[in-house]
Structure 1
């Protein structure tokens, strides 16, 4: 799933390449993808792009005050080309959920496809007058990389959440943009168990976690900046220390990275770095294995 750094990279890339272009064509291939009806998505055609902005994991393209907003969900991605195909698209055929065409002042034609792999379709598209009209954006918690997100505010958030810290970091209504992968990386950097209860962390742990959020996300955002969409996935995978690396040695201590699997997801962690050498049981409600 694209998370804050990749979505930030996509937003910057699209802003640099689309600003000043005219949205000349928009095809939505699946009714399930489009979450709004008024205004109609056809109202976007002929409008000039004035900017692209990120809201958590959402991307908003401003076209003369009307906003095309999308969320890539778990299996979605974006394909960018400066030699778009003119072949007609057939609804329900292939991974393309929506296709956008743009034309620059110099006649350059740009194509953007929103794609989604797998049978479970969650990618979402909205056409709104204000990004805050998108329910998911309106419900977002603070962005952890915003300058106003202070250590004190972070401590208050944790104190109010009697839940496992892994889930708190992933909750978009608590903080915007962090998902499964970067929550693993942040907790590893902070040397905190994913099963630790958020409201029981002491002041030193809270500060360490706050700094890890900024260091991990900040580094990933810098690595993503300037990358084309096709390169962002490899950049993300290459920067991971524990996420997706179960069975491999921890790059910090050399212990074997372990995994806890759930019904539809999994987390990875290092026992030596994060749980004092104890191995977490591979069940959601378990305590430590002895």
Structure 2
């Protein structure tokens, strides 16, 4: 899933590619992807792109005074095409194509989503806050408003909730997903199951630094990369996420996993839990 660093890099790449370009049309290949009807897709036809920004994991293409908002969800991505096919895509096919943005020189963007679970979302709105997911976002962890004191308030309000879930909740902190929450907690040497309200002042300082350093480091590495290079850059720099069974790059212990119904987390027991393996509930059920 694209998270804050990748969406930030996509916004930068797109801002350079789309600057002062006109959108000729948007071809919708998956009707379920479009979440709004007023203004219609046709409202952006013939408009010039003014800027490209980010709200958490949401991309915001401002064009003709309107906002084309994209949320790529778990399996979505954007691919640049120097030349798009002349015929619009056929809706309802098996292709991963969800929508295509055609520009004034016949180049464009293919918005795709792999897999069968379709969660990608496209909105045309007058104000980004008209998108419910944006309206309820928590503070951006790389913004000036995200201070150590603000993090302390968030953790206090979360009570006994596990810190992994607090980091991932978009209404609490915007832009952090499954992968970077694993990476942040590994950098902080902290168990993903640690209760949010149990952090000491030293823990708080460590976690705050890990959030800022992990995300800003990923943003710096991604800056200037083309959208086709971002997935590989992210994967090659992960310490624990997606690396089950491989050695921890810090201590050499094996990276372990806890599985859930539709996701999993990875961690290093030596670095994060005092050598104790966390209970994998799904595996425990299989063994019974």
Query: What is the TM-score when the length of structure 1 is the normalising length?
Result: 0.95
Number of residue pairs matched by the alignment = 281
How far is the alpha carbon of 1:29 from its aligned partner? 1.5
1:154 aligns with 2:155: no
> What is residue 252 of structure 1 aligned with on the other side?
250
Residue among 235, 240, 243 paired with 2:241:
243
Q: Tell me, what secondary structure is at the counterpart of 2:52?
A: strand
How far is the alpha carbon of 1:84 from its aligned partner? 2.1
Distance 2:127 2:136 in 1: 14
Q: Tell me, what secondary structure is at the counterpart of 2:24?
A: strand
> What is residue 96 of structure 1 aligned with on the other side?
97
Moved over 6 A (4+): none
How far is the alpha carbon of 1:262 from its aligned partner? 0.4
Q: Deviations over 1:122-175 (max 9, x none)?
A: 000000011111000001000000022110011110011020000000000000
> What is residue 64 of structure 2 aligned with on the other side?
64
How far is the alpha carbon of 1:110 from its aligned partner? 2.4
Distance 1:191 1:156 in 2: 21
How far is the alpha carbon of 1:88 from its aligned partner? 2.8
Preserved CA contact (<8 Å) 2:31 2:91: no
> What is residue 215 of structure 1 aligned with on the other side?
213
Residue among 269, 276, 279 paired with 1:278:
276
> What is residue 86 of structure 1 aligned with on the other side?
86
> What is residue 108 of structure 2 aligned with on the other side?
111
> What is residue 53 of structure 2 aligned with on the other side?
53
Larger relative helix fraction: 2
Q: Deviations over 1:175-201 (max 9, x none)?
A: 000000000000000000000001111
> What is residue 39 of structure 2 aligned with on the other side?
39
Q: Tell me, what secondary structure is at the counterpart of 2:281?
A: coil
Distance 1:71 1:33 in 2: 10
Distance 2:106 2:61 in 1: 17
> What is residue 181 of structure 2 aligned with on the other side?
183
How far is the alpha carbon of 1:83 from its aligned partner? 2.2
How far is the alpha carbon of 1:25 from its aligned partner? 1.5
